[in-house]
Amino acid sequence: MSTPHNTAEAGDIAETVLMPGDPLRAQFIAENYLENSVCFNQVRGMLGYTGTYHGKRVSVMGSGMGIPSIGIYSWELYHRYGVESIIRVGSAGAIADDVKLRDIVIGQGACTDSAFASQYHLPGTFAPIADYGLLRRAADQAERMGIHAVVGNVLSTDAFYNDDPSYNDAWKKMGVTCVEMESAALYMIAARCGKKALGIFTISDHLYRKEALSPQDRQTTFGDMIRLALEIV
């Protein structure tokens, strides 16, 4: 059952997995939000844990940065470990004018500049979208929790440092809310596997207003995102 990237055995991983990019954030979630968490993976420092949240079994595992990394881990979780749902929880940089620091963005769809979809040999352009059930539950739960959440299109880019200064302008004019680096691949893999996926993001900075959260503010706001994700498991 184990893979070159994951030493978990059958039954070690829950049907729903939260995936932050940073493995240390996965450890933080396990230690601060889950009960009786057990580490199932440490290969390459990509930590994974399984525990319970309000009696529901849930796992959390880092995805690493970028589409190739989350592509490996999510594929293995869906194909090898029987995972049914992956909820990405991460930070994002806002590009839309009406998206503000501390906002939660729920990724309805994920644009990308990646060639990841070329492997599927489709006769057109695939539109990576979230699972509607997870999306609706997240939006409804955010309202119940009093969390301001924006539902919209996000951008999963391959280049953190883009050489084209007009790059974000092109996506902004199409109504894209924010930029991150993983969700398009996650949505594609989930679609190919017949599984479920959703991306939930905390806006940590605004690319046009040059605003950014302090480390303390990030910790507080990220907590809202994590609780929201756990409540829809």
Angle at 84 between CA 178 and CA 199, to 5 degrees: 5
We report the CATH number of the domain holding residue 197 as 3.40.50.1580
Any domain includes 72: yes
pLDDT score recorded for residue 147: 94
Any domain includes 44: yes
Any domain includes 11: no
pLDDT score recorded for residue 220: 67
Any domain includes 201: yes
Any domain includes 5: no
Q: In total, how many domains does the chain have?
A: 1
> pTM for this one?
0.96
pLDDT score recorded for residue 211: 92
Give the range of the structural domain holding residue 95, as residue numbers without chain letter. Answer: 16-231
Of 158, 205, 217, 224, the active-site residue reads 205
Any domain includes 184: yes
Any domain includes 83: yes
Which pLDDT band, with edges at 50, 70 and 90, does 119 fall under?
Answer: very high
Catalytic: 12? no
Which pLDDT band, with edges at 50, 70 and 90, does 2 fall under?
Answer: confident
- In whole angstroms, give the CA distance from residue 170 to residue 162: 13
Any domain includes 4: no
